[in-house]
Amino acid sequence: MKLYEKTAHELHELLTSKKISALELTKDLFSRIDEKETEIGAYLEITKTQALETAKLVDEKISRGEKISALEGIPCAIKDNICTKGIKTTCASKILENFVPPYDATVMKKLYAQNLIILGKLNMDEFAMGGSTENSAYHVTKNPHDLSRVPGGSSGGSAAAVAAGEAIFTLGSDTGGSIRQPASFCGVVGMKPTYGRVSRYGLVAFASSLDQIGPLTKDVTDCATVLNAICGLDEMDSTSTPAAVPDFTKSLISDVKNLKIGLPKEYFASGMDKEVEDAVIEATEIYEKLGAQIVEISLPHTEFAISTYYIIAPAEAATNLERYDGVSYGARVDGADIVEMMTNTRTEKFGEEVKRRIMIGNYALSAGYYDAYYLKALKVRTLIQKDFTDAFKNVDIILTPTTPNAAFKIGEMINDPLKMYLQDICTVPLNLAGLPGISIPCGFTSEKLPIGFQLIGKALDEETIIRAAFTYEQNKG
Ligand code: GLN
């Protein structure tokens, strides 16, 4: 097995036993990137000099006989909406084409503190709006399993990089499914932690009440290890939770005996691909064999989740994106006066989808429509949250497909935004409710495209998710 194919925990063993050096490992990743990048296009920026320097630092530490942490010296890459001091952070937008943040996001500080090796910044849908990476202002990322298909989005670069061996793990962000859906499309593990678990300080805001950073990894063990590294209260983010952070690797236990798993009937509705449905049902059968109890449940307001999300997310986005006015933030396109300058800047530098969201958001927030749309959406959001609270009185965890179908073709949905939005049906309810969720690979379609299922946990109960996901991974055969 090649080094780039290995997991972080395997590589940690090799590093501590001095079978490989961090420099050798990092160079191996860069040669893999050289080999794959032209066909995949996962990256927007490569940070080779910095990466090689860190690798040398880790090697010196090891040769001095010092202990290294679980992720020290592991090469990873970062979605391009997470601020990196001195490294361009574009959000795959032309409006931030030259933006070099003067500070690091809190997650970056945490990774640097452990000497992780940052390979570069990853492609995404512009400002994380989309589900295919086709909305990047720079290029489309391809799905490593089939180059004619999308890797999912918006963290498409993050998922494709892991699947193609161009990074050992990556960080993505998830506002309505952007970690879980690409993880599912690319056959990797992707987790959105509970809202507030990971600091959003330095994550360029899309929809602040929904956004959450999380890991994309090759297996559940790496997922737990990365969570350990990035979770925790942060005084720079007033929405980060003071809840204690457990050692998530303690939940890597293969045991689901008596675990009550709920299957919401609304998530298995018509319109789902038969092969996806079969693979997900097969996963539930494995759980049943291992002693879990499968219970049918109902989340009755699921049918309103898409409409609710596509009011709330654009409303928050329209507000967050007001700052890109050609004055204080981002690029500027000149005009005869300030109004023309702002108009030119935003017209030229924002992509189609971003403009669509700004228009929907401002419409929903405007006088006369606020009550009918935004306020109504907030009320329905509460009902969706209540559905989960009620369901979790009877079950420990909820199992659903991650997406209604496997990866679609590049270009297939780009001109039909509504169809693209409907793809998010299984993932957006969790963001509306602030709950944690993971996508786990569970097989392939007849066209050899990865399929994933989703586990949803109670708020702050990532531990049960990790235990259940790990159990599946160990027993899937
Ligand atoms: N596909 C969803 C959207 O376009 C989710 C995006 C995300 O989670 N960032 O808004």
pLDDT digits (tens, 9 = 90+) for 295-331: 999 999 999 999 999 999 999 999 999 999 999 888 9
Cβ contact 428:139 at 8 Å = no
Looking at residue 184, its pLDDT comes to 98
DSSP string, 213-230: EEEEESSHHHHHHHHHHH
**Given this model, what pLDDT does residue 271 score?**
81
Per the document, the length of the chain is 477
Q: Residue 407: what are its φ and ψ, rounded to 5°?
A: -55, 135
Choose the catalytic residue: 93, 136, 154, 439: 154
Can you list the residues of the chain whose pLDDT is less than 70?
none
Q: 154 an active-site residue?
A: yes
- Going by alpha carbons, the residue nearest to atom 10 of ligand 1 is 129
| pLDDT for res 180 | 98
Note the pTM of the prediction, 2 decimals: 0.98
Catalytic annotation, pick one of 21, 155, 178, 439:
178
Whether ligand 1 lies within 6 angstroms of the CB of 361 is answered as no
CA distance 184 to 279: 12
What pLDDT is attached to residue 295? 97
| 342, burial (CB in 10 Å: exposed 0-12, middle 13-18, buried 19+) | middle
Q: Which two tokens stand for residue 274?
A: 């038969």
pLDDT of 403 reads 97
Partners of residue 149 on adjacent β-strands: 409
Whether 133 is in the pocket of ligand 1, judged by its Cβ within 6 Å, is: no
The ligand 1 atom at the shortest distance from the C-alpha of residue 420 is 1
Active-site residue flag, 85: no
> Of 79, 94, 121, 349, which one is the catalytic site residue?
79
21 C-alpha to center of ligand 1: Å? 38
Q: Which atom of ligand 1 is nearest to the CA of 130?
A: 4
CA–CA separation, 100 and 445 (whole Å): 42
- Find out whether the beta carbon of 136 lies less than 6 Å from any atom of ligand 1: no
Short-list 218, 86, 198, 73, CA closest to 144: 218
pLDDT for residue 69:
97
Instruction: Write down the residue that tokens 């809202």 correspond to.
Output: 195
Ligand 1 touching residue 154 (CB < 6 A): yes
Residue 160 has a CB neighbour count (10 Å cut-off) of: 33
To the query of whether residue 446 is one of the catalytic residues in this protein, the response is no
Gap between the Cα atoms of 421 and 244, Å rounded: 35
H runs (alpha helix) in 146-273? 156-163, 180-186, 220-230
Question: What is the pLDDT, as a whole number, of residue 329?
Answer: 82
Q: Is the dihedral of CA 100, 104, 108, 114 positive or negative?
A: positive
Cis before 251? omega within 30: no
Considering only CA atoms, which residue is closest to atom 4 of ligand 1?
Answer: 130
